[in-house]
Amino acid sequence: MKTTLSLAPSAALRIFHFDDIDRYRSGATALQFELTPLVRKISARQFMLTMPGCDMLVESSFPRLTGGKLMPGRTVIGFSMTDEAAGLFNGIDLKVSTLVLGHGGAGYVAYENKPHCFARVAFEPEIHDRGWPAADKGFAHFIMPRPAHDRLRCLVMEIMTLASHSPDDLQRPEVAQGAKESLLAAADEAFANSAFALGRRSSQAERFLGIIKSIDEIISANPASPIYSGELAGTLGVSVRTLHNAVLQYRGMSLHRYLKLKRLWQVRQRLLIGNISVKACALAYGFWHLSDFSRSYRTLFGELPSQTLALAHWTGPDAPRDGAGPASHWAR
């Protein structure tokens, strides 16, 4: 992202770079939001700034599936920092000028189909007195006019530049409050001039979102055994077709591909522990066709399962670490 290359870390601005998905995942897990990468090799960068009553994150991300819940007592807005859309957010196609709004406790699932850069601004306490549209359940989506979008982008970069180059100035209460007020005013403008809202979901869409959350909870609760479509459908009391439609709408892929992706990541995490053969691990997670398993594994992770297993002894507390740092975004 060219607009952030000149920024350097400071007492006010934290910058993290991740070129290894396992390091990124370890940070994400600590912050309790679900993450399934769609690629093995990544290059993710985060710029994080905390001010009284407000914090900001700008992230250059990578293709992935994410989900989580906002911390209580916060109102969050989010928008793209580039002129490219990047997938689905709560089952709704993200347009270039989408403005996302959510309050504390709101849940989300997202599908990012390509690398992109986004900004997230969190206000604390929650914002309920500025005439912003209601977002009582989950998140609401709005389409901003281009000038309002550009104003938000510009403000975020200007504040982060100040944090990088003159951190002492931004740490003065009056300066930080002024920066927060500028962000609130820019959001006021964006909401006041939004063309239309996208946040109203049908009862079926709400049901599908609940199904997605239940699928992820079941998979997370059973990390040592594979989960199959028929078993999931029986547990949730729905048809396999309903599962497929829900995953397609909210995860942007078929149910079969989604479950296979989850199982491949479970295999990888197990191989990194060690003390198991590749064949035994593959079979344990339901990959009976070993050559197909090996091809799928290499396509996703860029290495053979045996190469991952060879790394197992490097994953303990004495393993070399690079790019360590927070890996959260919406869940914070």
Mean pLDDT of 44-49: 94
Give residue 275's region: left, alpha or beta (phi > 0; psi -120 to 50).
left
Tokens read off for 244:
């497929």
Mean pLDDT of 177-185: 94
DSSP 186-204: HHHHHHHT-S-B-----HH
User: Looking at residue 230, what is its pLDDT?
Assistant: 86
Label residue 185 by pLDDT band (50, 70, 90).
Answer: very high
| Residue 147, pLDDT above cutoff 60 | yes
Tokens read off for 192:
């006041």
User: Using an 8 Å Cβ cutoff, are 109 and 250 in contact?
Assistant: yes
User: Looking at residue 110, what is its pLDDT?
Assistant: 92
Question: Can you give the length of the chain in residues?
Answer: 332
Q: Which amino acid is at 287?
A: F
Summarised one tens digit per residue, pLDDT across range 122-144 is 999 999 888 888 766 678 888 99
Mean pLDDT of 297-314: 86
Summarised one tens digit per residue, pLDDT across range 110-124 is 999 999 899 999 999
| Residue 152, pLDDT above cutoff 90 | yes
- Nearest Cα neighbor of 322 from 45, 20, 13 is 20
DSSP type of residue 312: G
Instruction: Look up the pTM and report it.
Output: 0.77
| Residue 196, pLDDT above cutoff 80 | no
Query: Looking up tokens 């690079």, which residue turns up?
Result: 322
Lateral strand order in the sheet of 64-69: 34-37, 64-69, 107-112, 88-89, 92-93
Q: How far apart are CA 270 and CA 282, in angstroms?
A: 10
**φ, ψ of residue 120 in degrees (nearest 5):** -130, 125
DSSP 28-66: HHHTT-EEEES-SS--EEEEEEEETTEEEEEEE--SEEE
User: Looking at residue 332, what is its pLDDT?
Assistant: 58
CA quadruple 68, 249, 245, 223: dihedral positive or negative? negative
Q: How far apart are CA 116 and CA 126, in angstroms?
A: 27
